[in-house]
Structure 1
Amino acid sequence: MGSVQDSPIPIDLPNLSAFPAALRGKRILLCTESFGPVNGVSRTTLMLVNHLRANGAIVAVVAPHNHTQQNLFIPSSATDQKTITSSLSPSTSDMSSSQNTTLRLPGYPLPYNPELSIVYPFLLSSLYKATFHPDLIYLASPASLGFQVLLQLRQQPPQNQVPVICNFQTDLAGYCAILFSPPLSALAVHAFASVQSFLFRHASVRCIFYPSRFVRRYLEAKGVQCDKMEILQRGVESARVFHPGRRSEAARRRIAPGGEVVLICVARLAAEKGFGFLADVARQLEARGLRFKLWIVGGNRNGVVEGEIKDMFAGLVERGVVVFAGMLVGEELATAYASADVFLHCSVTETFGLVVLESMASGVPVVARDEGGPSDIVQHGQSGFLVPPEDLDGFVEKVVLLAGDERLRRGLGEAARRQAEGETWERINNKVAWRMVDVIQKRETAVRMMGDGNGGDGGVRRMAMATTPVFGWLLLSNAFRARVVDMRLAGGIAVISGFWIVVGLYLALIKLGLWFSTRVRS
């Protein structure tokens, strides 16, 4: 097991400010669990898609049906050139030449987070018919959609195994540990970890981007090869959107008419975002006599879940100490960041924590629990403070320190702004583009060499050695080989369908529980 490094994969990246010309015209099938301005992960993916398309790459996006109409901030460059809603029926075969499309697959929205869906079982060949046969598959935060693609890809003969790049952005196992009740939580964590380990170690997966050391340690513990992993952090619109210049005294007077210190937390209202910890922080701050307003920005389309989070702050809201602003978007969100004095981040499941970087770009210092992505973003004592995850008293002490020292707040905020200015989306997305070129070119070289009988790329060669000799020794026909592949694909679909049935039953129980909770609350 190797030590944590930033980038163990050798590659010549001559200029990350330039887009690789060799990627223009290449066909990329990008599968993502959510797409559009829905959440931090999907916004990151949207930025990448827009960047690739704007520079001449052909990108077909495959994503679950969007069950939410939430309209968060969309950069001016964002376009969705063609959208297809499909159940992958045979009629989609005439669309094989479609370019820069967005294909929406049917699925079941998660009860606790309707922004995400579990995609119904589908055939990878149907995706190809509806879009094109790609040069590369990019899996953004793979879960139900990405796992199905990888499982089916593993069953293909070596010459049909399109190379894959994964971007690990969501800690599914961490979410399961919080959302599920024991012993189901332990079972779910084990299941996700086993599936990820099984799929990510396959030779078709050429690179796995990870956003923080926290994620790398997790992947290493699951046996994923170190030479596949490469760090990829996030960018922020620090020039046009998130900027200290958006600070509004009118907004501050509205939230804190008595001149109180304004603390802000931006997050979806859900259990895994650490709101129980935040409520304890607010109560301790009130007990210490600090004059403050806690401004909580975010919502949840599931009213029961949102209500449960708000109940954690019972009394604090009535006394006017905590203000729930709901979902803010666009300029309103940027103004909220810049108008606060201190940003509080209490989640311990974030693989990166884009809201932390957005706050820093707005010139607001951060106090965060030292777990997950924020540990790599916040420079302790320079752009904010990191506190051990379970140290409630230590967290409160840092908030009190910043609340009482305007000069310290200003100094840390300016340093946070300088740090965020260097994290541009162009450089980050160009890094992905260069990696795509590297993977595609290696695959093309390997295929040519295999055709010439000269071997080729190690991954392709290992796959060929694992399958071809058996057929050769037994003198089996090509038709029989195809039948074996079809049987393996059928087995993979059966596994997916069985898993979906089990998950579907559990989701039905959750829905029943939420319905019961609604009746009790009403």
Structure 2
Amino acid sequence: MATRESYDDTHDLTVFPEGLRGRKILLCTESFGPVNGVSRTTLMLVNHLRSHGALVSVVAPYNHTKVNTFSPINNPDDGKKKQASYCSETRLTGYPLPFNPELSVVYPVRLSELYRRSFGGPPDLIYLASPASLGFQVMLQLRQQVEDAQVPVICNFQTDLAGYCSILFPSPLGDIASWLFAKVQGYLFRHASVKTVFYPSTFVKRYLEDVAGVQSEKLSVLRRGVNTDGFHPRRRNEELRRQWAPNGELILFTCSRLAGEKGFGFLAQATNELHKRHLDFKLVIVGGNRNSVVEEEIKEMFEPLRESGKVIFTGFKVGEELTSHYASADIFLHCSVTETFGLVVLEAMASGVPVVARDEGGPSDIIDQGKSGFLVPPDDLEGFVQKALELADDPGLRQRVSQAGRAQALEATWETIGNKVAWNMLQTIEDREKNEGSEISTQSVWLIKGLILYYAAIRRRVISKIVDAKLSFGLLTILGFWAWVSVYLFFTNMVHLARTKVPGLRVMVKSSRI
């Protein structure tokens, strides 16, 4: 059987497939807009497909502001009203996650309702970006349909939910949650309706094959691109550098959502070690968390260095302000081990900033060890500190790594990545059409076909209640798991809140850690 990878060899990825123009694509994503790296990647894909004439209808949960964050781009070559009407965005209600209110668990929704609200009927293809609460519902409902009615699905695996669970929850709850997620993902991805599962790194491929049990022939690697015009060394801002480091200190930098699973505990330890070894530096951390309790807990990890001004938290940054922050740094420190890709690493390389990262997850595939950056074993704190010191002490080495990183980033274009997805979409749609058209059109065959369809219609009506019951059970299982997660995180947040509001309790907790 041909793998999804083999299709790439037959297509020119510098060219968008003309056959995808006018095709109806229902794109379901767990977040959309300038929320995080995953949603920014999805936004780039949607813009790319629509600008070339594909009819893309986006379905996503409301974000924390309860407003849409996307301005559709119409095809410049086709001003038809029909196409403009499909540049739509449908927002669904859900329950915001306590530890990250920008993400929501979508309430139950019927697939037929999504069809109605997008194209008025089934699309040619369904694309699931980082499927979780919404994507799981879509795949689960497709399993309940007869084979002829199953719209083909392409999934893009971008978030390591199982990995997050193992970090967020104490043992053995974390291990149980991680195991459950792997089983659910494998059960859904292995179904025949799912034609391709894109993965961003070798780390994720091993998980999908060995843990989730997804068929190898379905897997296809899909890297991420970076805007090398926006993230560019020329964005370096000397005035900004003087604000951060008025005495000419070395500027260490990182950019991430402030959350426990992002490796800030490791970064805090590394920062303390660098301080003990008398490195004259300022650490600038870009990012935040809509949950103020979680954000404050991360900031507390860097005391007393934050209080003395050696660690600077800037909050969220976007656009040109974000790119200036990147390019104005001297060294980028990446400490997360849960990144399926690690877009921030590629953004730092494009900005001409040398990177030191833990050798786990996506960054392991991005960095060319010793040339475009440095990788350190994930638990090797001493090795991480030594590489940071090596770069700090050698401006020539920083310059060489910076140039190699920038050259590597220039090869990762959104155009090529978007075209790869587009070719895969067209191939999947055409495969389905070929299968539907391969039957011999004789009267006897069509008579048999009609009887089969008639029987199938009766069967669907007779067992509709059973199907609805199975569907409801599946949805309740998913919602039950998310409810369990929310209850656990609610009580965790209460503990965090008590620590921030009751000084005596905070001292007691810190003393117990010592």
* Length-normalised TM-score, structure 2: 0.89
Gaps of at least 5 residues in structure 1 are: 83-94, 454-467
State yes or no: 1:499 paired with 2:499. no
Alignment counterpart, residue 14 of structure 1, candidates 7, 11, 14:
11
Q: 1:30 aligns with which of 27, 32, 35?
A: 27
Query: For the residues of structure 2 that align with 1:500 and 1:189, how far apart are their CA atoms?
Result: 16
Cα distance in 2, alignment partners of residues 264 and 477 from structure 1? 61
Superposition map of 1:196-215 within 5 A:
196-215=185-204
Partner of 1:103: 90
* Cross-structure match for 2:165: 176
Q: Distance in 1 between matches of 2:285 and 2:296?
A: 14
Are 2:59 and 1:80 equivalent residues in the alignment? no
Q: Deviations over 1:420-462 (max 9, x none)?
A: 0111111110110010000000001111124748xxxxxxxxx
Contact 2:234-2:327 within 8 A present in 1 as well:
yes
Question: Match of 2:49?
Answer: 52
**Shift of the alpha carbon at 1:517?**
3.0
2:261 and 2:488 map into 1 onto residues whose CA distance is 20
Cross-structure match for 2:422? 433
Measure how far apart 1:9 and its partner are. Answer: 3.4
Match of 1:458 in 2: none
CA distance in 2, matches of 1:335, 1:276: 26
Letter in 2 for 1:182: S
2:263 and 2:150 map into 1 onto residues whose CA distance is: 41
Q: Deviations over 1:197-250 (max 9, x none)?
A: 1011111111111101010010111211111111110011102x1000011111
Q: How far apart are the structure 2 equivalents of 1:490 and 1:14?
A: 44
Name the SS for the 2:13 alignment partner. Answer: coil
Which residue among 287, 290, 309 is the counterpart of 1:301?
290
Give the conservation status (yes or no) of the 8 Å contact 2:4–2:196.
no
What corresponds to 2:377 in structure 1?
388
Distance change (3 Å), C-alpha of 1:220 and 1:286: same
CA–CA distance in structure 1, aligned partners of residues 405 and 488 of structure 2: 45
Answer yes or no: is the 8 Å Cα contact 2:133–2:478 preserved in 1: no
Match of 1:510 among 486, 489, 492: 489
Assess if the C-alpha contact under 8 Å between 1:13 and 1:434 holds in 2.
no
| Partner in structure 2 of residue 237 of structure 1 | 227
* Superposed CA offset, 1:458-486 (max 9, x none): xxxxxxxxxx9xx98xx967313443355
Q: Residues 36, 452 of structure 1: CA spacing in aligned structure 2 closer, same or farther, 3 A cutoff?
A: farther
Q: 1:482 to 1:408 in 2, by over 3 A?
A: same
Identity %: 56
2:114 is matched by which residue type in structure 1?
Answer: L
8 Å Cα contact 1:9-1:230 kept in structure 2:
no
Matched, 1:126 2:113: yes
What is the aligned counterpart of 2:267 among 264, 278, 285?
Answer: 278
Please show how residues 95-494 of structure 1 align to structure 2 within 5 Å.
Answer: 99-132=86-119, 133-221=122-210, 222-239=212-229, 241-450=230-439, 452=441, 478-484=457-463, 487-494=466-473
Tell me: CA distance 1:12–1:483, structure 2 relative to 1, closer, same or farther (3 Å): farther
Relative to structure 1, the CA distance from residue 124 to residue 477 in structure 2 (aligned partners, 3 Å threshold; closer, same or farther) is closer
Measured after TM superposition, the shift of residue 301 of structure 1 is 0.3
In the other structure, the counterpart of 1:460 is none
How much does 1:383 deviate?
Answer: 0.8
Distance 2:27 2:455 in 1: 36
Letter of the 1:430 counterpart: N
Match of 2:508 in 1: none
Deviation at 1:389, TM superposition (A): 0.3
> Does structure 1 conserve the Cα–Cα contact (< 8 Å) formed by 2:5 and 2:221?
no
Q: Aligned partner of 2:244: which letter?
A: I
CA distance in 2, matches of 1:258, 1:102: 49
Cα RMSD of the aligned pairs, angstroms, is 2.5
SS in structure 2 at match of 1:118: strand
- Say whether the 8 Å CA contact 2:140–2:474 is kept in structure 1: no
CA distance in 2, matches of 1:68, 1:376: 35
3-state SS in 1 of match to 2:317: coil
In 2 relative to 1, CA 41–320 (structure 1 residues): closer, same or farther, beyond 3 Å?
A: same
Shift of 1:324: 0.8
Shift of 1:520: 4.0
Give TM-score scaled by structure 1 length: 0.88
Tell me whether 507-516 or 366-375 shows the greater mean CA deviation: 507-516
Evaluate the alpha carbon distance shift between residue 21 and residue 212 of structure 1 in structure 2; reply closer, same or farther with a 3 A threshold.
same
Provide the C-alpha distance between the structure 2 equivalents of 1:477 and 1:145, rounded to a whole number of angstroms. 28
SS in 2 for 1:114: strand
SS in 2 for 1:349: coil
Aligned to 2:507: none
2 CA distance for matches of 1:30 and 1:501? 25
Q: CA deviation at 1:502?
A: 4.4
Change (3 A) 1:79 1:17: farther
- Aligned partner letter, 1:233: R
1:284–1:25 Cα change, 3 Å: same
1:248 touches 1:338 (CA, 8 Å); kept in 2?
yes
Secondary structure of the structure 1 residue equivalent to 2:7: coil
How many angstroms apart in 2 are the aligned matches of 1:196 and 1:233?
21
**Structure 2 CA distance for partners of 1:79 and 1:35, relative to 1, 3 Å:** same
Deviation at 1:320, TM superposition (A): 1.8
> Over residues 32-61 of structure 1, what are the superposed CA-to-partner deviations in whole Å (9 max), with x where a residue is unaligned?
000111100000000000111111100110
- Taking a change above 3 Å as real, the CA distance of residues 64 and 408 of structure 1, as seen in their structure-2 partners, is same
SS of aligned partner of 2:112: helix
